[in-house]
Structure 1
């Protein structure tokens, strides 16, 4: 990374966050430009996925990978982009639920081709009978009926 590129990155970080965090100086020069470009132009930029949702996804991954650094950053960034405490809790729970299901399916060595076929059949059924817009309501009704 050229000295002018490092200076530009540091300037952009300062403009965006008010400082250059110390860990940035520990990035290998060969990786710094790419890391910052992805953070600036994808993670923090307006893309097809709203920023709040990207940060909630990042939070879920952080929980799954057990990275306290990322969990802190993505939680605060999600709040910065308008996430509520309830949304943060739901994203965390969704990650936990996904990890639990994944652990079970992998430990049981469930046949992937059967799982795939059944999943696609269930989605096709839900689309046909509930309509795409009502799929969420149908799922919630099924969950409530199962817990009654």
Structure 2
């Protein structure tokens, strides 16, 4: 867990980075405040293994399904901030719709998981064999 820093110090850092202390942060208890800010700063604003634009597109897709309007709005604006186009945002949401639909169908039909896994392995092998050899 991150060190406990004085709330005022963390709030000053937030103001420098964001221009204000968002209200949703203000209610976090003092002993968790710095920890939550450090996580947010690293995962939402920092460079990680997944480029920020793609993380935000994933966030839009996830929260389109969870139906959290706060998170959907946040991730949409963050995706735009990190360079996502309206077309990329639409594709992310459409992909989520398709993926969730297949999940509903496979689970509802109680598809045999072992058979599904075996067939998927065969599909992957087939596609890999069809791919042109890299030189």
Same fold, TM-score > 0.5, yes or no: yes
Partner residue of 1:91?
A: 92
Which stretch has the larger CA shift, 8-17 or 87-96? 8-17
Partner residue of 1:10?
A: 11
Q: Which string of whole-angstrom CA distances, capped at 9 and with x for unpartnered residues, describes residues 81-138 of structure 1?
A: 00000000000111111111111111111111111111121111101112488xxxxx
Quote the RMSD (CA, aligned, Å).
1.9
Which stretch has the larger CA shift, 29-38 or 66-75? 29-38
Q: Which has the higher contact order (CA 8 A, sep 6+)?
A: 2
Q: For the residues of structure 1 that align with 2:5 and 2:130, how far apart are their CA atoms?
A: 60
Q: Which runs of 5+ in 1 are unaligned?
A: 134-148
- 1:43 corresponds to 2:44: yes
Shift of 1:31: 3.5
Q: After the TM superposition, which segments of 4 or more aligned residues of structure 1 sit over 6 Å from their partners?
A: none
Partner residue of 2:111?
A: 110
Q: Which runs of 5+ in 2 are unaligned?
A: none
- 1:78 corresponds to 2:88: no
The structure in which a higher percent of residues are helix is: 1
